[in-house]
Amino acid sequence: MKLERLTPGMLIPWGGDRLAVVSEALAAAFTPGDRLIVVQESGDLLHVPASVAATVTTAVDQAHAAFGELRRAGEDQIRRFFDRFAAALSSDATWERIAAANARDVERARAAGRSTTRLEATPAMRADMIAGLIAWRDAPATRGRIVEQVVHPGWMAEVETAPLGVVGFVFEGRPNVFADAAGVIRGGNAVVFRIGSDALGTARAIAEHALAPALAEAGLPAGAAVLVDSAERAAGWAMFSDPRLALAVARGSGPAVAQLGAVARQAGIPASLHGTGGAWLVADVSADAARFSAAVGASLDRKVCNTLNVCCIVRARAGELAPLFAESLWRAGEALGHGARLHVSAADAALVPKALRTARVTTRRADGDRDEAFVETHASLDLGHEWEWERTPESWLAIVDDLDTAIALFNANSPRFIASLIAEDGVAQQRFYEGVEAAFVGDGFTRWVDGQYVFDRPELGLSNWQGGRLLARGGVLSGDGVVTLRTRMRQSDPTLRR
């Protein structure tokens, strides 16, 4: 028996003992053939129109068929794919088509009052995409790598890497992530992906003028990397509920990524989620002031997941370093041309130089510029809140009693992602490393956390420990980390019996 219609006020069970209520809008939108996904972790009722479900099913069909063909593809074909993809993006004629599509995407996003900071296909973004694809071209083969060998009398067992399957990838409107997604082909996997609606036009242009020709020139199946051509959020829900996916990867805003992960998990699909960011920087009693100031500035040049979000300063150094932090934050805003914002408790605001405490700044928001105060005081600090900004650096400042207090605050309030300690004391550095529940720990600027920057591998996502430890090398999930293991037995003694 199929669900054909919904009525306002209809009760839908979820979580085993709770009920969600169908709204009038949902009831009116739902038609025969549509799907209703009930998120068992939250009670969210997700409407997937039949047309969207069909688009996604077709895309997964193509990727699933391509995965079987990729098993027979040679390493030379895979290397040629990345070489041809990089060459296409290097072609000015090809890039002009992509840039024109991107300009239209940016114009539409601005008109809608949405952020375009990560949407713009800049020359630097183009260069990073090309460099990432070349890195995949030159990377060693991952298929069939022997990771363990156990020799017995008359026989042996070998454990070797193998492709995982079809990877579903949903990511925000950042065109450069296209190259990251294609990286799963390095290990013989297929990928089906959905990009945020703001960047869909750019994605279509990349797929048509660079990705598809590269697959064809390498003799790889067209379904090895499939763009879900839909602007509907429901496309992501439909994809992550298809049990043919071997892995579901999501990047974007925290709540949206968490919802996608819940959809995948209840469909029995392992999920790798990358939705919450924001780095923490701690200044200990032995901090070098110049090093501290440099780390602050270098951690606030743009807003991404590894940008400084919370700065903790031990009270013994607050009189010197808190004003320095405020001044460094101010200069970071000046460098971007749109001011900065400091969030601090009312009790600690007096540590900020008076001229800055009363200063006004022009802040850049997605919907336009605003006149705001540089310092905003709070009765209590919500250090778990990640500030989202365009070209106006924004950060918390917290004064703490000691290093252990800063560690405890990080573990309790952060996404357990990136922690950095400015301290000349090696014992303090080791205590910090052992104490913080973070995937990435450093002693300087926070923006070093990036798969391509650290390991020369474009990333599908970075590991925070908010939802538990994550797979892959160094907390960076990249294309060559999407593997499974197979065990092969080789028998030399034909008379062998157990």
Each residue of 68-89: pLDDT tens digit? 999 999 999 999 999 999 999 9
**Does 277 have pLDDT greater than 80?**
yes
Percent of the chain scoring above 70 in pLDDT: 98
The answer to whether residues 242 and 344 belong to one domain is no
DSSP class of 207: I
**Does 303 have pLDDT greater than 80?**
yes
Cα separation, 419 vs 358, in Å, equals 30
CA distance readout (Å), 366 to 121, 157, 341, 396: 17, 58, 16, 21
DSSP class of 387: P
Q: Tokens 């209520």: give the residue.
A: 21
Domain range for 40: 11-50
Phi, then psi, of 253 in degrees rounded to 5? -75, 150
| Domain presence at residue 457 | no
DSSP-assigned beta bridge partners for residue 52: none
**Half-sphere exposure at residue 342, Cβ-oriented, CA atoms within 13 angstroms:** 33
The answer to whether residues 265 and 333 belong to one domain is no
Phi, then psi, of 123 in degrees rounded to 5? -55, -35
Q: What is the pLDDT of residue 338?
A: 85
Domains contained in the chain, number: 3
Q: What is the mean pLDDT of residues 210-226?
A: 97
| Domain presence at residue 80 | yes
Which distant-in-sequence residues (6+ apart) come within 8 Å of 187 by Cβ? 142, 143, 161, 163, 164, 479, 480, 482, 483
The answer to whether residues 20 and 105 belong to one domain is no
Q: What is the CATH number of the domain that holds 309?
A: 3.40.309.10
Q: What is the mean pLDDT of residues 306-334?
A: 97
Binned at pLDDT 50, 70 and 90, residue 27 comes out as very high
The answer to whether residues 43 and 152 belong to one domain is no
Cα separation, 86 vs 94, in Å, equals 11
Binned at pLDDT 50, 70 and 90, residue 467 comes out as low
Cα separation, 288 vs 6, in Å, equals 64
The answer to whether residues 305 and 408 belong to one domain is yes
Q: What is the pLDDT of residue 320?
A: 97
Query: Residues 242-259: pLDDT tens digits?
Result: 999 999 999 887 889 889
For residue 247, count CB atoms less than 10 angstroms from its CB and return exposed for 0-12, middle for 13-18, buried for 19 or more: buried
**Does 185 have pLDDT greater than 60?**
yes
Q: What is the mean pLDDT of residues 363-390?
A: 90
The answer to whether residues 32 and 171 belong to one domain is no
CA distance readout (Å), 405 to 194, 319, 428, 465: 42, 18, 13, 20
The answer to whether residues 270 and 346 belong to one domain is no
Cβ atoms 286, 66 nearer than 8 A: no
